[in-house]
C-alpha cells in the first residue's frame, strides 16, 4: 500500500498516518483511489485505527537539591502558607474540644486568640499547654 491510501485513511479517521493499520493479507487496498473506496475498506475492517499508546514510563522529576535552589525558604514557601499549615489544625482541635465539652467554658476565645498570635508551635504544644493550665475538663 502506498502512502496515498494511508493519508486518506488518516484524514477520514482523524489521526496520524502512523496510527493506521492495514491488513497485510488483502491486496484490494492497492486499488483504492478515492475516499469512498477507503471508507469501504474501513467499514470492512481491512483498514483500522491503532489505539493511542499510553506513557509506559513515569519519568521521575529531577529533584532540586539545596545548591541549585534560588531564593530563601520564605520566597519558595510563602509565610502565609506555612502559618496556615500550623494554625488550621490547632483551630480545628479547639473547635472539636469545645463541641465535645472537654474545654472549660470561658477559655475557648482566649485560646483561639493565642493560636492566632502564634502562641503555640503545634497541636501537641497546644495540648501540653491545656494540660498544664488545667483547662481540660475530664
Q: Is 34 part of a structural domain of the chain?
A: yes
Q: Is 88 part of a structural domain of the chain?
A: yes
Q: Is 67 part of a structural domain of the chain?
A: no
128 and 88 within one domain: yes
Beta-strand ranges (E) seen in the chain are 20-22, 47-49
Q: Is 36 part of a structural domain of the chain?
A: yes
Q: Quick one: pLDDT band at residue 5, thresholds 50, 70, 90?
A: confident
Domain enclosing residue 84, as ranges: 77-133
Closest CA to 11 of 38, 31, 50: 38
Report how far Cα 129 is from the mean position of its chain's Cα atoms.
Answer: 38
Q: What is the CATH number of the domain that holds 121?
A: 1.10.1200.60
45 and 7 within one domain: yes
- Decide if 137 contacts 101 (C-beta within 8 A): yes
> How many domains would you assign to the chain?
2
Quote the Cα angle for 44-47-51, to 5°. 120
Render pLDDT for 95-106 as a digit per residue (tens, 0 to 9): 999 999 999 878
Strand bridging mode 20-22 / 47-49:
antiparallel
Render pLDDT for 6-63 as a digit per residue (tens, 0 to 9): 899 999 999 999 999 998 888 888 888 899 999 999 999 999 999 988 766 666 666 7
pTM: 0.50
Report the SS3 class of residue 49.
Answer: strand
Look-up of cell digits 525558604: 73
Q: Is 54 part of a structural domain of the chain?
A: no
Amino acid at each position: 500500500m502506498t502512502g496515498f491510501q494511508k493519508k486518506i485513511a488518516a484524514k477520514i479517521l482523524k489521526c496520524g498516518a502512523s496510527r493506521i493499520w492495514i491488513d497485510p493479507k488483502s491486496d484490494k487496498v492497492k486499488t483504492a483511489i478515492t475516499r469512498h473506496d477507503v471508507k469501504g475498506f474501513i467499514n470492512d475492517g481491512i483498514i483500522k485505527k491503532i489505539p493511542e499508546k499510553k506513557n509506559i514510563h513515569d519519568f521521575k522529576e529531577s529533584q532540586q537539591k539545596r545548591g541549585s535552589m534560588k531564593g530563601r525558604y520564605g520566597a519558595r514557601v510563602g509565610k502565609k502558607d506555612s502559618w496556615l499549615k500550623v494554625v488550621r489544625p490547632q483551630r480545628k482541635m479547639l473547635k472539636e474540644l469545645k463541641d465535645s465539652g472537654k474545654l472549660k467554658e470561658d477559655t475557648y476565645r482566649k485560646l483561639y486568640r493565642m493560636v492566632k498570635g502564634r502562641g503555640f508551635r503545634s497541636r501537641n504544644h497546644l495540648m501540653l499547654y491545656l494540660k498544664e493550665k488545667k483547662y481540660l475538663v475530664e
